[in-house]
Amino acid sequence: MPAPVIRAANLVKTYRVRGSARLARGARSRSARTPSEFRAVDGLSFEVAPGESFGLLGPNGAGKSTTMKMVGAVSTRTSGDLEILGLDPDRYGPEIRSRLGVVPQEDNLDGELNARENLYVYGRYFGLPGRVCAQKADQLLAFAQLEDKAKSKVDQLSGGMKRRLTIARGLINDPRILLLDEPTTGLDPQARHILWDRLFRLKERGTTLVLTTHYMDEAEQLCDRLIVVDKGRIMAEGTPGALIRQHASREVAEVRFGSAHNELAAAQLAGFGDRVEVLPDRVLVYAHDGEAVLARIAETGLRPLTSLVRRASLEDVFLRLTGRSLIE
Ligand SMILES: Nc1ncnc2c1ncn2[C@@H]1O[C@H](COP(=O)(O)OP(=O)(O)O)[C@@H](O)[C@H]1O
Ligand SMILES: [Mg+2]
């Protein structure tokens, strides 16, 4: 086994917060006026192997960005152990940052500059010679499929183009690890697929990818292995396939009886599969054979308004583990 490139053990980050808004989670204070501690990251332990594509999957507020900032050596941890490429970010922040590529959740491209200049200037920050920066900028524009946008100002780029440019920028120093915080949030399906394709290529070249997402399909597509995170804690860890096998059945029959009737119908479906889950708009029946469930529902005389059978997904894993849907 090669040494992990990232090793986190019991990683904790607390924020001091005022007011009562945060008292629900990890709060120590009774008074709404005194500052209290809020554990945004509450004891995460994980390792990432070289060349691996590792994901943090969880809903908004799970602590994904906070974790990424600590891994990226731009935010200090409150407690726990953290090693990036064998180095402690508390002591070796600049060394670590020079060897990572970072795609933050919010694009922070320079709006005054055009696409090519954004890459060039970033390379100069890393101390690369101008000639190297120019060469790399052109290569990376090609990689990001932005050659014809080289001279366009950032504001003129679409959301997907900005994201690709940010990824290109993160690659200027040939990083061993690329950190991607919600790489495709807010993008339309086509833009997401173009981006996924670029990330697959990086993966094929052996770049270690660490990404956060609240899209289960993205995690399934891109991650070799992932942790499911909720409220700063790890709920489960494994490959997408193993997590689904462990926490869900093979198939899911989704049936809708209308919002006023789902609850009642679900009660009649108990025992039709391994498990029945009632959501506000539909009933999910987990079973090895979803079509067989639909057939049995029809035999019973129940008439769903709509029905479909699908393979179980990470969404089902999350629902099982937390009782909530991944996207609220
Ligand atoms: N600088 C900060 N000060 C106080 N609370 C913060 C700060 N940054 C994030 N939080 C809180 O920590 C929790 C986790 O945030 P974040 O790591 O951004 O989650 P995610 O990226 O999974 O959506 C949230 O409840 C968020 O409001
Ligand atoms: Mg975030």
Per-residue model confidence (pLDDT) at position 141 = 97
Atom of ligand 1 nearest to the CA of 66: 17
Q: Give the number of domains in the chain.
A: 2
Please tell me whether residues 179 and 295 are part of one structural domain.
no
Structural domain includes residue 255? yes
Per-residue model confidence (pLDDT) at position 28 = 47
**Residues of the chain where predicted confidence (pLDDT) is lower than 70:** 19-35, 327-328
Please tell me whether residues 191 and 111 are part of one structural domain.
yes
Please tell me whether residues 221 and 288 are part of one structural domain.
no
How far is ligand 1, taken at its centre, from the CA of residue 224, in Å?
26
- Residues flanking ion ligand 2, Cβ below 5 Å: 64-65, 105
Per-residue model confidence (pLDDT) at position 21 = 52
- The pLDDT tens digits of the residues spanning 115-149 come to 999 999 999 999 999 999 999 999 999 999 999 99
From its phi and psi, is residue 134 left (phi > 0), alpha (psi between -120 and 50) or beta? alpha
Listed in order, strand segments (DSSP E) in the chain are 6-17, 36-48, 53-57, 79-84, 100-103, 177-181, 208-213, 225-230, 233-238, 251-256, 275-278, 283-287, 306-311
CATH of the domain at 291: 3.30.70.980
Per-residue model confidence (pLDDT) at position 93 = 97
Atom of ligand 1 nearest to the CA of 69: 17
Please tell me whether residues 259 and 178 are part of one structural domain.
no
Residue range(s) defining the domain that contains residue 189: 52-231
How far is ligand 2, taken at its centre, from the CA of residue 65, in Å?
4
Please tell me whether residues 179 and 75 are part of one structural domain.
yes
Please tell me whether residues 155 and 195 are part of one structural domain.
yes
Ligand showing the shortest atom-to-Cα distance for residue 56: 1
Which positions ≥6 away from 154 have C-beta within 8 Å? 109, 110, 111, 113, 114, 115, 118, 162, 165
Report residues whose beta carbon is within 6 angstroms of any ligand 1 atom.
15, 17, 40, 58, 60-66
Please tell me whether residues 154 and 198 are part of one structural domain.
yes
Per-residue model confidence (pLDDT) at position 59 = 93
Write the residue with the smallest CA distance to atom 25 of ligand 1.
61
Please tell me whether residues 154 and 220 are part of one structural domain.
yes
Please tell me whether residues 180 and 278 are part of one structural domain.
no
Please tell me whether residues 151 and 114 are part of one structural domain.
yes
CATH of the domain at 159: 3.40.50.300
Structural domain includes residue 242? no
How far is ligand 2, taken at its centre, from the CA of residue 60, in Å?
6
- Substitution candidate for ligand 1 out of 12, 14, 15 with most atoms within 8 A of CB: 15
Structural domain includes residue 156? yes
